Every structure is written in C-alpha cells, then in structure tokens.
A and B are shown apart, each in its own frame.
Chain A
Amino acid sequence: SAVISQKPSRDICQRGTSLTIQCQVDSQVTMMFWYRQQPGQSLTLIATANQGSEATYESGFVIDKFPISRPNLTFSTLTVSNMSPEDSSIYLCSVVRGNANTEAFFGQGTRLTVV
C-alpha cells in the first residue's frame, strides 16, 4: 500500500487568493494525479503529474489556474490560483505505483471553501 499525506485537510479562503495543496507519499511512485470532487459528485481529473515532465492537464483545466509541481518521486503540489467561489470543492491527490492497471491510492482530500 501507499501512505499519502495531504495538507491542508481543509481551508477557507478569500476570493482572489491562492492556496497550495501538498501531497507527500511514503515511497516513490511513478504516476501522480490530481482530482477535484464536488460534494456528492464524481472525481474529475485535473491533471497528471509525472516527475521530470510538465503536468498534463485535462480539458477545462489550465496551468495558469492550477499550477502543479512534481519535484521528486514522493511529492507534488497543486495550487488553486485566483480563487473564486466556484473553486470550492474537495481536491484529492492520487498515486499509482506501477502502471495504470494497478491500484490507485488516494489522499484524504483537501476541502476548500472560497468566500
């Protein structure tokens, strides 16, 4: 298994500010993903963050709004920039140890409220 520490667990932020979410894994992993989950909704992939390369963003998500860093094989950050109330959601990081056909592990999530 993989132990993922995601911080902060929750935050209330003012609109127009930015929040950086950290994801620390207890061992090296090849693939890391960032998801957004609206309450009661599905998990929507924001981007794939692989070490040594630029993050790959899904349709509807852009680097200027959600910059991602992946400095090594155990750590990644997602920044939610220039926040608006529409960004209020749960953000989760996820890791896969092997290829995509192996178990994915999720962090506990960051519950973000923008006021």
Chain B
Amino acid sequence: QQPVQSPQAVILREGEDAVINCSSSKALYSVHWYRQKHGEAPVFLMILLKGGEQKGHEKISASFNEKKQQSSLYLTASQLSYSGTYFCGTLTQGGSEKLVFGKGTKLTVNP
C-alpha cells in the first residue's frame, strides 16, 4: 500500500520553513526519507523506527507518530540546496522487507 504524501509541491523563499507529511493506512514499522535532485539518484536523509522518535539532520528533522501511522519532515530555514523531490518510504508491520515509496513532494527553494 503506497503511503500518501502531502503536499505534492511546495515553493519557498530561502530561509522559510516547510513541512512534508507522509501517512499510511497500514501499521508502520518504520519510515524512511529520501531526497532526489533532478537527474540524480535518491539520497538517504533519515530513518524513523516505531516508537514515536524524532530525528534531525542539519536543519532537517522528522517525527513519526506510530499511532497515527504518520510521519512529518520538517525543513527549517530552507536553503537553495534543499530543492528537490522528497520521498517517504514505508515498511509495514508484518510485511516483507521492501520499501514502498510515496509519490513525492517537489520542493523548490528560490532566492
């Protein structure tokens, strides 16, 4: 079951904040976040395991609400380099060991 990401696209000015959401209809074991720039391979950002943890990576952090089967990615004080498409990938409880990716959120940061 593909996770649902929102919004589909975000346009920011440098220094602004953004939140990207990822939700699933199935119980999740973990949520993975990746960023892909145009013409490049996806790059790993972070993994959140069940337990409601929150992680950070530079000015990018994420939370995982296991009960709501949701994860959110927070980008604070955005930089031009943050532009790209962000994908969440989910592993479901009791499922096989394969990531199912959402449709992606295209983030554009303008000067």
Contact = CB atoms under 8 A, between A and B. Distances in A.
Contact of B41 (A56, A103, A109): A109
Contacts of A45: 98-100
Contacts of A31: 97
Nearest to A58: B98
B41 A104 contact: no
Range of interface residues on A (Cβ < 8 Å): 20 to 34
Given A43-B42, A109-B41, A100 B99 contact: yes
Given A43-B42, A101-B29, A33 B98 contact: yes
**Interface residues of B: mostly helix, strand, loop or mixed?**
strand
Contacts of A42: 2, 87, 101-104
Contacts, number: 52
Contacts of B99: 33, 45, 100, 104
A58 B59 CA distance: 36
A22 B91 CA distance: 26
Contacts of B91: 100-101
A1 to B, nearest CB: 9
Interface in B30-51: 30, 32, 34, 40-44, 47, 49
Of B89, B99, B100, B102, chain A has the most CB atoms within 10 Å of the CB of B99
